[in-house]
Amino acid sequence: MNLVDEGRKPRRRPRGGEPRSGAPGQNPHLEVPFITRGIPPYDLLGEDALQKIEVTAGRILAEIGMEFREDPEAVRLFREAGAEVTELGRDAWRLKFAPGMIREILKTAPARFTQHARSPARNVEIGGDAVVFAPAYGSPFVMDLDKGRRYGTIEDFRNFVKLAQSSPWLHHSGGTICEPTDIAVNKRHLDMVYSHIRYSDRGFLGSITAPERAEDSIEMCRILFGDGFVDANCVIMGNFNTTSPLVLDGVTTRGIRAYAAANQGSIHLPFLLGGAVSPLTMAGSVAQCLAESMTSCALTQLVRPGAPVVLGSFLSSMSLRSGSPTFGTPEPALGSLVMGQLARRANLPLRCAGNFSTSKLPDAQAMQQSMMSMMSAVQCGANYILHSAGFLDGLLSMSYEKFMMDTDLCGMLHAYLKGISVDDDTLAFDALAEKGPGEHLFSTAHVLRHYQSAYYDSALDDNQPWETWDEQGGIDAATRANTRWKAQLNTYEAPPLDPGIDAALQDFMARRKASMPDAWY
Amino acid sequence: MNLVDEGRKPRRRPRGGEPRSGAPGQNPHLEVPFITRGIPPYDLLGEDALQKIEVTAGRILAEIGMEFREDPEAVRLFREAGAEVTELGRDAWRLKFAPGMIREILKTAPARFTQHARSPARNVEIGGDAVVFAPAYGSPFVMDLDKGRRYGTIEDFRNFVKLAQSSPWLHHSGGTICEPTDIAVNKRHLDMVYSHIRYSDRGFLGSITAPERAEDSIEMCRILFGDGFVDANCVIMGNFNTTSPLVLDGVTTRGIRAYAAANQGSIHLPFLLGGAVSPLTMAGSVAQCLAESMTSCALTQLVRPGAPVVLGSFLSSMSLRSGSPTFGTPEPALGSLVMGQLARRANLPLRCAGNFSTSKLPDAQAMQQSMMSMMSAVQCGANYILHSAGFLDGLLSMSYEKFMMDTDLCGMLHAYLKGISVDDDTLAFDALAEKGPGEHLFSTAHVLRHYQSAYYDSALDDNQPWETWDEQGGIDAATRANTRWKAQLNTYEAPPLDPGIDAALQDFMARRKASMPDAWY
């Protein structure tokens, strides 16, 4: 039976868009610039356990401290704020922070802020009950079913920006969506930022690999948005990694200072591979994560109080037989749930987890691991979920097919995060009473009223009977995804960009590129 | 680096077994006869919404009522308990239950009980914080990568019982693990029950397709356990479906009465395909589920107060373009979380969800959908999770490869449900202090103490670097699972069974089979 083709019109149109046509994957009622969660986060630990973790994070900062390298200015800022500084030698300092000091500094950080996009309808909020999905970040390789695994290029980069822009289930264009390895290391940030601006109208991340590249990224936003707007609003963010355990190097802190000084956002992410750079036990990893991320976040507030900042958590595990990192495993999923609780207690937005996997193919392992990780991200209350699409191969490869699977999953998560509405209409007593025991509900007024928006309609899953599926060739999910990303690229249309701004951006890039020789490291 | 091969012995052995060897998939510290959950359930709705659902379930039973068919004794029992009975015609009655009546009847049902297995070490508890995983149930077809999809046979049935018995991550042998279609419909229950007894030493489900088959199943348990033991203890359960919406047919109620009269367990499951036999909206489906399941459960207490009973929930959705049932979608996952809350409020054990998928292959779709459903099962606090392994093709096919994927996932869920321990040891302050900033933790005492039990070690996932994986042939997860189920069957050893009991069981089967001609419907 096909409710759509029965010729009856629904009594109400679903909120948020047009009704579904016959093509799969249409869920206009779920399309939003960012998600406002309708379900509570999943709180794993009780008050005592959370306090123990917070106390341990405080002890780490007060008794062990963190090492800062090659940025005397960052050290000066923390010393003036009260840190105990010990010089370790040339360009290295150990800083210790009295209990409560970092939390005190962070009181000026906003609990929630807006990142502006060039299309205002694409602005996203970060913090509170807002959830933002962005593509995976940082893979040197790309892969697809046709050509296998190879180094990423700027063409791949543009393709992924276009695919992301084409998906209603991502809200943000991300950053280093893959490494464009065919462009010099010291210049590729220009092409990356330009591609985000040109091929997407959503918010994005800028460069963090060198302070001058951070400045270039912000400068390109000034061309796009105007100097005054940028000074008053967050239009770009940088995604910074601590050097775990307990180190902040100068490239990182100078980058953080550049974003903060410009009043732009920054994400502060310890990449914790348990057993290598953090304890094997999740309680310890989470305590360390909190200590490192809060300290890195605090630097922004010393540079410019009120600058937008995002607590970060990237917990992974290890194959204890081989020493290989593992992703999408159960223990980090639990750790992420705890990080959500800690972020809410710190009153800071959180970036956490994503669609992680170590699989080398878009296969069953890929989506099993992805789901383990991604469910923890949405359940923990994370606000900005980088790595929401494309992640394979332990973050070494961006997969075209996985990208399509993940974006479809992100759509499902829109339905999941919407939650269950409980009212007289949804309780549907009248629908059951209308027909009574033993009678199907197909033609009840209640079904007709809800059929367009009751269930997420996947663009990728095959829910047909086996016989139909078999007659159509018995296609697996990876092959369907392969067909779909090509079709999506074929129908992509770039959002309009003011030609004057485009020319100014290209001029800036050309001048910056001409100002320095290519560097490949 | 390989911690195992470094020649250092861990200071403590993990609890629960021997340390890991070099082979993958060893997690002795997680092996248990059933899981005792160490994490709280995920509570989705607040008090008001839960009360609205309960009130609606009460109104359904009081104002619409349920239809009973072809079992005057069940009607008599409910009439005597206070139900308002209206005769609808030959062998059909509408029963209405005053608000609170069904809950009152259920007060004698145990909140938690033990199902005894023939090996006492395999006894499982059902209810409270106990979680039991059992294989999928009821598929007419089986499939594997070599031979594709075909009707299930008794050989397939035995194979799956053996594979389940071989997995430490299942706790129960299940029931109709696939339909043995090469045996007459009226006799196959004998071979199924015998196979569970012969090839597994875990608990299992008996037949429910006819009251006399239920009696046969219980009689075989009397041969195995002794009459007195069976009368005093739960050794078998029946899994009963209501005929939604709001009907209980006589085959079902007579089967329920047979299990209850023998003091055996029963599960009461509305199979709710939203939009067809229940409202499209989850709030309504959940209210109906509660009403139907509680009424079905209540019958047991009228037959024998104190008989073990399990509330059931099987929520599915529908492709609203084709009318096909869909599984592993987000809306039923939310509904399952709510069913967990309602079961706790009713103080009854819960069967809920499982590794559901509509995929026709053990591919990315299969595990994405499975995870969506299975995470809701373990997060909602379900106690008995049928369909934990093998489910594909919308329950029409039992997949050998998916079975291996799912059992490995069940292992992961042992780690997940164990939760995070937060104490001085796991907070690991000393481990971080031992090395200080910038130093890897590989050789810390803390890592050496925890490396065998910190992370679940998958038997199936490939976490190697891409180059190693590629050199080894670039195998996908489905192919690895294919290799693994064959290896597992090759090394299977049947648990010993007393020859006298075996002979008595075979004699009983032979007599029962000789007593009636084959029937194929």
What's the confidence (pLDDT) of residue B70?
97
Count Cβ atoms below 10 Å from residue B428 Cβ, excluding itself.
29
Cβ of B434 under 8 Å from any chain A Cβ? no
Nearest CB among B323, B359, B464 relative to A322 is that of B464
B6–chain A Cβ distance below 8 A for any pair:
no
Taking the C-alpha atoms of residue B255 and residue B211, their distance in angstroms, rounded to an integer, is 5
What distance in Å separates residue B202's CA from the closest CA in chain A?
26
Judging contacts by C-beta atoms under 8 Å, the chain A residues touching residue B373 are none
CA of B32 vs chain A CAs: smallest distance (Å): 18
Chain A nearest CA to B442, separation (Å): 5
A86 — contact with chain B (CB < 8 Å)? no
Chain A residues within 8 A of B371 when measuring between CB atoms: 367-368, 371-372, 375
CA B456-B460-B461 angle, 5° bins? 75
Q: Does A364 contact B362 at a Cβ distance shorter than 8 Å?
A: yes
For residues A393 and A149, the answer to whether their CB atoms sit within 8 Å is: yes
Q: Is the dihedral of CA B181, B182, B187, B190 positive or negative?
A: negative
pLDDT the model gives residue B51: 98
CA distance B50 to chain A (A): 9
Which residue among A279, A421, A478 sits closest to B364, beta carbon to beta carbon? A478
CA B26 to chain centre: 23
Task: Say how far apart CA A44 and CA B483 lie, in whole Å.
Answer: 37
Among candidate residues B303, B266, B298, B272, the one with its CA nearest the CA of residue B286? B272
Spatial separation of the C-alpha atoms in residues A158 and B460, rounded to whole Å: 35
- Digit-coded pLDDT (tens) for B55-112: 999 999 999 999 999 999 999 999 999 999 999 988 999 999 999 999 999 999 999 9
Inter-chain residue contact B375 with A370, CB threshold 8 Å: no
Asked if A477's CB is within 8 angstroms of B426's CB, the reply is no
Instruction: Tell me the CA end-to-end span of chain B in Å, nearest whole number.
Output: 60
Residues in A 171-210 with any Cβ partner in B closer than 8 A? none
A426 contacts in chain B (CB < 8 Å): 279, 281-284
Those of residues 265-284 in A touching chain B at CB distance below 8 A are 274-284
| The predicted structure's pLDDT at residue B320 | 80
Whole-Å CA distances, B257 to B71, B105, B219, B265: 10, 15, 15, 11
Q: Which residues pair with B28 in a beta bridge?
A: none
Range 360-379 of B in CB contact (< 8 A) with A: 360-372, 375, 379
Q: What are the distances in angstroms from CA A392 to CA A33, A273, A450?
A: 26, 17, 37
Per-residue pLDDT of chain A (521 residues; tens, 9 = 90+): 333 333 333 333 334 344 556 788 889 999 999 999 999 999 999 999 999 999 999 999 999 999 999 999 999 999 999 999 999 988 999 999 999 999 999 999 999 999 999 999 999 999 999 999 999 999 999 999 999 999 999 999 999 999 999 999 999 999 999 999 999 999 999 999 999 999 999 999 999 999 999 999 999 999 999 999 999 999 999 999 999 999 999 999 999 999 999 999 999 999 999 999 999 999 999 999 999 999 999 999 999 999 999 999 999 999 888 888 999 999 999 999 999 999 999 999 999 999 999 999 999 999 999 999 999 999 999 999 999 999 999 999 999 999 999 999 999 999 999 999 999 999 999 999 998 999 999 889 999 999 889 999 999 999 999 999 999 999 999 999 999 999 999 999 999 999 999 999 999 999 999 999 999 98
Residue of A nearest to B281 (CA): A426
Q: In what order do the strands lie in the sheet with A148-151?
A: A148-151, A141-144, A397-399, A391-392
Say if residues A234 and A349 touch (Cβ distance below 8 Å): no
The reported pLDDT for the residue numbered A8 is 36
The CA distance from B108 to the nearest CA of chain A, in Å, is: 27
Q: Under an 8 A CB cutoff, do A281 and B446 touch?
A: yes
Report d(CA B367, CA B359) in Å as an integer.
Answer: 9
CATH of B26-419+456-520, one of 3.20.20.480, 2.10.60.10, 3.40.50.180, 3.40.190.10: 3.20.20.480
CB-based contact B218:B184 (threshold 8 Å): no
**How would you write the pLDDT of chain B (521 residues) with one tens digit per residue?**
333 333 333 333 334 344 556 788 889 999 999 999 999 999 999 999 999 999 999 999 999 999 999 999 999 999 999 999 999 988 999 999 999 999 999 999 999 999 999 999 999 999 999 999 999 999 999 999 999 999 999 999 999 999 999 999 999 999 999 999 999 999 999 999 999 999 999 999 999 999 999 999 999 999 999 999 999 999 999 999 999 999 999 999 999 999 999 999 999 999 999 999 999 999 999 999 999 999 999 999 999 999 999 999 999 999 888 888 999 999 999 999 999 999 999 999 999 999 999 999 999 999 999 999 999 999 999 999 999 999 999 999 999 999 999 999 999 999 999 999 999 999 999 999 998 999 999 889 999 999 889 999 999 999 999 999 999 999 999 999 999 999 999 999 999 999 999 999 999 999 999 999 999 98
pLDDT attached to residue A442:
87
| For residue A245, cis peptide bond before it (omega within 30 degrees of 0) | yes
Q: Which residue of A has its CA nearest to B37?
A: A44
Distance CA A368, CA A365 (A): 5
Among B20, B280, B439, most A C-beta atoms within 10 A, so best to mutate, is: B280
Task: Say which residues have a Cβ less than 8 Å from residue A171's Cβ, sequence separation at least 6.
Answer: A32, A33, A34, A35, A122, A124, A132, A133, A134, A202, A203
Domain coordinates of chain B in residue numbers?
Answer: 26-419+456-520
Closest chain A CA to residue B55: A427
Q: Report B:142-171 residues touching A (Cβ under 8 A).
A: 149
Q: A194 to chain B nearest CA, in Å? A: 31
The sign of the dihedral angle between the CA atoms of B482, B485, B486, B487 is positive
Q: Does A333 touch chain B (CB under 8 A)?
A: yes
Q: How many whole angstroms separate alpha carbon A160 and alpha carbon A166?
A: 10
Reported as a single tens digit per residue, the pLDDT across A483-518 is 999 999 999 999 999 999 999 999 999 999 999 999
Question: Is the CB of B462 less than 8 angstroms away from the CB of A66?
Answer: no
Query: Least CB-CB distance to B335: which of A65, A364, A420?
Result: A420
Cβ distance B463 to A358 less than 8 Å, yes or no, reads: yes
Is B45 at the interface with chain A, CB within 8 A?
Answer: yes
How many Cβ atoms are within 10 Å of A8's Cβ, its own excluded?
11
The region, left, alpha or beta by phi > 0 then psi within -120 to 50, assigned to residue B486 is alpha
Three-state secondary-structure class, residue B297: helix
Pairing between β-strand B384-385 and β-strand B130-133 as defined by DSSP bridges: parallel
* Chain A residues inside the 8 Å CB shell of B395: none
A218-248 pLDDT, tens digit each:
999 999 999 999 999 999 999 999 999 999 9
Distance of CA A335 to the CA centre of its chain: 17
pLDDT, tens only, A152-188: 999 999 999 999 999 999 999 999 999 999 999 999 9
Instruction: Give me the interface pTM, i.e. the ipTM.
Output: 0.95
Dihedral sign, Cα of residue B386, residue B390, residue B393, residue B398: negative
Residues of A in contact with B365 (CB under 8 A): 367, 460-462, 476-477
Q: Tell me the C-alpha distance between B28 and B24, whole Å.
A: 12
Give the pLDDT of residue A167. 98
- Separation between Cα atoms, residue A283 and residue A56, nearest integer Å: 10
Q: How far is A227 from chain B (nearest CA, A)?
A: 39
Q: Which tokens in the block code for residue B62? A: 């009081």
The contacts of residue B474 (CB under 8 Å, 6+ apart) are: A360, A361
How many other C-beta atoms lie within 10 A of the C-beta of residue A348? 23
How far B230 CA sits from the closest chain A CA (Å)? 36
Instruction: Spell out which residues of chain A touch residue B454, defining contact as CB-CB under 8 Å.
Output: 274-275, 280-281, 317, 320, 331
Report chain A residues whose CB lies below 8 A from the CB of B367.
364-365, 367-368, 371
